[in-house]
Structure formats: structure tokens, C-alpha cells
Structure 1
């Protein structure tokens, strides 16, 4: 990181292996669908982490969560979603916990069998809560997005980010209003740590 003054935040210069791309504008270039979820736009040469910090301080801080959902590589992204949901275990339903177990299995062993277990569970979930969205993120991490046994349907690059975004924001919406901002900052901070340590 560069040095900071009282008015200028530090600028990220080190690469983070857990990110799909280091520069936010390049990320938007590969997944223009992100613009449906993030109205702000990155500056030329702005690192993902620096853009996330700017979003967190902007009018719609939830867009920092959206950015990280798209920016992380699939395995750290799913683990990030898992940890976001586990940050408030008292707000999880039994279905959420079942879905989290499937996500844990895929992160530990990202096999096609584990991916399909999560995908099928997410597709057939009684309620499309945060756990179900996270299971869909696993299912859309690679391979086909069609249920097992059906002709393959290529997963769009943005699909995992869209599912993670829905899952983490749905979890955040369950957090009491007076704690929501602190939890949002915690989620974004965890994403940065996971990206750096992946």
C-alpha cells in the first residue's frame, strides 16, 4: 500500500490472488452486467479494493458488497459468502444451515458432484433465502448451470457474482438496522482479507 495523508486514502499497489482482475474497470469490461447492480463507476486505473472503499463511503454502501461478489475468484467468493452468513448465526434458518453445509463441502472439495449437490438444492429450495442463493453461487461457479442430467448450459461469467450478491445482501437485510452498517463494513473487510490470502 502507498502512504496516506489525512485527506487521501492509501492506494492499493499489491496484487491479490483471490481477485478475478485487479483493476475495477477491467472487471466491468469482462462483466458489463455488473452495471445492473452497481451504479457508480470506477476511475481509470482504480484497484478493486480502492473502488470498494470509495463505494463504502458513498451514497449506496451496499454496492461495495456487490463489487466484491463479482470481483472474487469462485472458491474464495463462496467462502466469503459462507462467512458473511455465519457472522450472524442467530439469523439463519434451518434451510440456510443445510445450504451452508453443501457450500462448505464444495469449498473443501470442488468436485462436480459437490457442485451439483449445491446447485440442485438451491434450485429446489422452498425459500430463496441467503443460503439458497449461496448454493446457487456454488452451482454457477463453473460447468453447466442446468440441473444434472439435462443438456449442458454454459454458465455466464457474471452468474456467480449475481447469486452471491443476492445471498449476502439478503443476509444483511436480516441484520437489525442499528448494526447493519457495522456488518456491511465487516463483510467488505472479510472479502479483502480473503482476496489477499487466497
Structure 2
């Protein structure tokens, strides 16, 4: 899959996103009333508030696009020959991105559990499970995930991806992954005014 999937959804304001994403004080202080989302992200990157920039993007993007972003970051962080459980989580996430069915969503959760939620691939697969549908076992009464569970798992996957390599390269990894998330947002035009 070489391009981000398309679905587009109206974004929330910068102030609303700061609140729901629970950004830290230093990042939130960069959010002036008139700042546009892309400029706010750049300000956070400039201030090296990387985890908050990741969170802001994860909460800005529609679910499927944010999961695609998490998957790409996790795939890069996992290397060319990841362990089988990591590869299985990446494959399950990719399968759901291509065909977002409930069966694929539940398969992603099974793969996430085996990979461990503390790995980039496990967290990306977990974000799939939270994307919609019941999080209860199939035989139990339906139970929806909390509203921002997908965004939180995506932010975790991207942050874990940036921190999973050489600590000296974490800043550069964050910058690269954030730039990729911004590119996804631009491609689906979430920051353009509604016409």
C-alpha cells in the first residue's frame, strides 16, 4: 500500500483538539487563538514537544487514516525482518486497512495481544480493534470503546516507533513520523476550509 487511504472528516478546532488530546502545558501554551493546525504542529516540533505533536495529529486524523499512519511508522520501526508475532500484528493491521471488516478488526486484536501492546506493531493493531464495533467478546452484549481509544492507541504506536531505535535518533525519528502524519492530513485535506 503506497498511498494513504481516503475518507476525510471535518476536523475539530485547535483548541478542542488540545483539550481532548490532553496535551501538556508547554505544548498547549503554543496554541494561540488564531493558530492554524499545521502551524501549531510545526511550533510543537520546533519546541521539541514531539509526543504532543504526535497526539495532536492522532486526534486530528480520521480513524482509518490515523491507523494507516500508525501502521507505516510501526512497520518502519520493526525493521526488515521483524519477529513472527510483530509481523503478524503488522499484517493484521494492514489487512484491516485494506478491508475494514469486523472479522479483521478482531483478528488485529488477537495479533496485538500476542505482539504486546507496548510494541509499535502491537499498539497499531490495538488501534484497529478500537476503531468501531463492540470491544466485548462476540457472545457478550455489545460494548463500544471509549471515544478516543483509537487516537490514543495510534499516538502510542507512533511514539513507541520513534523511541524504539537508537535513543540518539529519537528526535529525527519523531520529526520524520510527524512529517508523514502531516502529509496524510494534507492529502485528505482536513485543514482546508469547507466549501
Return the match for 1:177 from 167, 186, 191.
167
For the pair 1:63 / 2:52, whether they are aligned, the reply is yes
Give, in whole Å, the separation in 1 of the partners of 2:121 and 2:127: 10
Q: Compute the TM-score of the two structures, normalised by the length of structure 1.
A: 0.79
Aligned residue number for residue 3 of structure 2 = none
Deviations along 1:91-126, one digit per CA (max 9) or x if unpaired, are: 84432211111111111111111112112332x325
Q: Compute the TM-score of the two structures, normalised by the length of structure 2.
A: 0.80
Deviations along 1:12-66, one digit per CA (max 9) or x if unpaired, are: xxxx97465153213245x3xx21x543222224332222111111253221112
Q: Which runs of structure 1 show a deviation greater than 3 angstroms over 4 or more consecutive aligned residues?
A: 16-20
Query: RMSD across aligned C-alpha pairs, in angstroms?
Result: 2.3
Q: Is the 8 A contact 2:74 2:120 kept in 1?
A: yes
Q: Is the 8 A contact 1:102 1:117 kept in 2?
A: yes
Aligned residue number for residue 44 of structure 1 = 33
Does the residue aligned with 1:88 lie in a helix, a strand or coil? helix
Does the residue aligned with 1:148 lie in a helix, a strand or coil? coil
Q: How many residues align?
A: 178
Question: What aligned pairs does 1:1-198 form with structure 2 within 5 A after superposition?
Answer: 18=8, 21=11, 23-28=13-18, 31=20, 34-35=21-22, 37-39=23-25, 40-41=27-28, 42-90=31-79, 92-122=82-112, 124-125=113-114, 127-128=116-117, 129-198=119-188
Give, in whole Å, the separation in 1 of the partners of 2:124 and 2:68: 9
Q: Is the 8 A contact 2:70 2:124 kept in 1?
A: yes
Q: Is the 8 A contact 1:103 1:135 kept in 2?
A: yes
Gaps of 5+ in 1: 1-15
Deviations along 1:102-158, one digit per CA (max 9) or x if unpaired, are: 111111111111112112332x32532221111110010112222333221122221
After superposition, the Cα gap between the structure-2 partners of 1:98 and 1:66, relative to the gap in structure 1 and judged at 3 Å, is: same
Q: Is the 8 A contact 1:20 1:71 kept in 2?
A: no
Q: Is the 8 A contact 2:86 2:115 kept in 1?
A: no
